Amino acid sequence: MSDVIQLGPLATLERVRKVRQEKIYKELLDRDTTVLFEDPLENDMVLNMGPQHPATHGVLRVLLRLDGETVIKCVPELGYLHRGYEKLAENCTYVEFIPHTDRLDYLAPMSNNVGIALAIENAMGIEAPPRAQWIRTLVCELARISSHLLATGATAMDVGALTVFLWTFAEREKLYDIFELICGARFTTSYTRIGGVANDIPDWVLRKIRQWADEFIGQLEDVEKILCRNRIFIDRMAGIGYCSAEKAIALGLTGPVLRASGVARDLRRDQPYLLYDQLEFDVIVENDCDCYARFMVRLREMRESIRIIYQLLDHPIEGEVKLNDPVHVTPRKYEIYTKMEELIADFMIINFGPPAPPGETYTAIESPKGELGFFIVADGTGYPWKLKIRSPSAANLQAMPHMAEGSMVADIVAIIGGIDPVMGEADK
């Protein structure tokens, strides 16, 4: 009966699901890849971790083939949070797509906002004024700290130190309060606009940011004190999830995961954008290639981000926060209400989108998770013909099977914490 091909959308879905399952199980039971582990007693067990599992950071599904507690084979399955953003982008004007980027890496939405704004401006051949660039650099670093705080806290929680998770969460709450003061939203910020940012940051908010930064270093030291000299924590993290520099480059890893493998690649320094070429900061590199190195890279990067934030706050750039370019940038509200030309420009931008000249551009920023790139194929209209998102989480997750094989079940959660994937970004 099963050989009879049934028709209808449900039957098709069922077939797709079946083929998919068979593919996963075939890969899982592939014996050619497991040289070290023989199984004379046939005591293997296939364990399905996720997509509803407390430690898989969202809806990541990991299939494990276990021998006792040892992982023989690991197959991550992605796609449970797929919302079709790349296709959606083709049906949005450039302006309309910015809020969608909040939902990519939802732990650092500011960073994504800046990424898409830079990509669209690059496609259009315009550049935001200096004050906007200064603000963008500032919020990027705040977003980096926010994301790294969650990564370190979640890693600690996964190996059992629940308290650290709540400490870092308390700090993130303060950051969210700052985001709220900056743009009015705590989580889905949508702060950037084409050619600038939505609004200026007033001085009293900047003073709040400085005050927060002063206190933050002390909190960070608390986290370091409770974990970095803790024998149990180091034993759980060091030597786990090894990924050599060659393998990391071959797999296309970026961000803290790559830098923890000893490769000093940071787009902020290698392809400077915004104000990064004028700022002084170190590219953090650890050479141990394991989960502990990834953890340490994130911890130390937070200190570098604080350093950058201090430099920015010490040398503010004054001026306009939005470019005066009626073809691409929406004019200010009072201009729309009082002037005819600006009203027409606003109407055109909102309804048909700001036109980008035909061509292909790729713009990448160093998001907290790694290289976040937007490849835009423009056809002269206000809609992208194609918008491809190069999301760091998806690329970094490729290393998971390589890191997990031969480790134990308890290491899987440490490895996931070390990669720090955000499924909103990996599944797009």
Partner 1 sequence: MSSLVLTLIKGAIALNVALVVAAALVYLERRISAWIQYRIGPNRVGPFGLLQPLADVLKLYTKEDIVPYNASKPFHRIAPIISIAVALSVLCVIAPASYLLLDDGTKLFIAVAPNVNVGLLFYLALSSIGVYGIVLAGWSSNNKYSLLGGLRSSAQMISYELAMGLAAVAAVMVSGSLDMNQIIASQSGGRWNIWFQPLGFLIFLVASFAETNRAPFDLPEAEPELVGGYHTEYSGMKFGLFYLAEYANMFTASAVMTTLYLGGYDMPFLPTLLGLQEGTLPRVLFELAVFVGKVSVLLFLFIWVRWTLPRFRYDQLMNLGWRVLLPLGLANIVITGAIVFFVR
- The residue ranges that bind partner 1 (CB under 8 A) are 45, 47, 53-55, 69, 156-163, 166-167, 170, 226-227, 230, 232-233, 235-236, 408-413
Q: What Rg value do the Cα atoms of the chain yield, rounded? A: 23
- Toward partner 1, which CB reaches closer, 120 or 149? 149
- Toward partner 1, which CB reaches closer, 197 or 414? 414
CB of residue 358 to partner 1, shortest distance in Å:
50
- Toward partner 1, which CB reaches closer, 161 or 356? 161
- Toward partner 1, which CB reaches closer, 353 or 417? 417
CB of residue 223 to partner 1, shortest distance in Å:
13
Output the DSSP codes for 240-269: SS---HHHHHHHT--THHHHTTT----HHH
d(CA 25, CA 73) in angstroms, rounded, equals 11
Residue with tokens 């009082």: 338
CB of residue 153 to partner 1, shortest distance in Å:
11
64-97 per-residue burial string, b: 16 or more CB within 10 A, e: under 16: bbbbeebbbbbbbbbebbeeebeeebeebbbbeb
- Toward partner 1, which CB reaches closer, 411 or 427? 411
Instruction: List all residues 6 or more positions away from 31 whose beta carbon is below 8 Å from its beta carbon.
Output: none
| Residue 294: closest CA among 119, 417, 138 | 417
Please give the structure tokens belonging to residue 209.
Answer: 């940011």
Instruction: List all residues 6 or more positions away from 338 whose beta carbon is below 8 Å from its beta carbon.
Output: none
| DSSP strands (E only) in 35-194 | 44-49, 61-67, 70-77, 192-193
- Toward partner 1, which CB reaches closer, 226 or 249? 226
CB of residue 422 to partner 1, shortest distance in Å:
17
CB of residue 170 to partner 1, shortest distance in Å:
5
Amino acid in position 43? N
Asked if 291 and 215 touch (Cβ cutoff 8 Å), the reply is no
- Toward partner 1, which CB reaches closer, 33 or 163? 163
d(CA 151, CA 157) in angstroms, rounded, equals 10
| Measured CA distances, 313 to 64, 139, 148 (Å) | 48, 12, 21
CB of residue 62 to partner 1, shortest distance in Å:
11
CB of residue 144 to partner 1, shortest distance in Å:
23
Q: Give the phi and the psi of residue 72 in degrees, each rounded to 5.
A: -90, -40
- Toward partner 1, which CB reaches closer, 12 or 163? 163
Residue 113: burial class (beta carbons within 10 Å; 0-12, 13-18, 19+): buried
Asked if 266 and 241 touch (Cβ cutoff 8 Å), the reply is no
| Residue 368: closest CA among 428, 305, 319 | 305
- Toward partner 1, which CB reaches closer, 233 or 383? 233
H or E stretch covering 375: strand 370-378
- Toward partner 1, which CB reaches closer, 389 or 412? 412
CB of residue 392 to partner 1, shortest distance in Å:
23
CB of residue 70 to partner 1, shortest distance in Å:
9
CB of residue 163 to partner 1, shortest distance in Å:
5
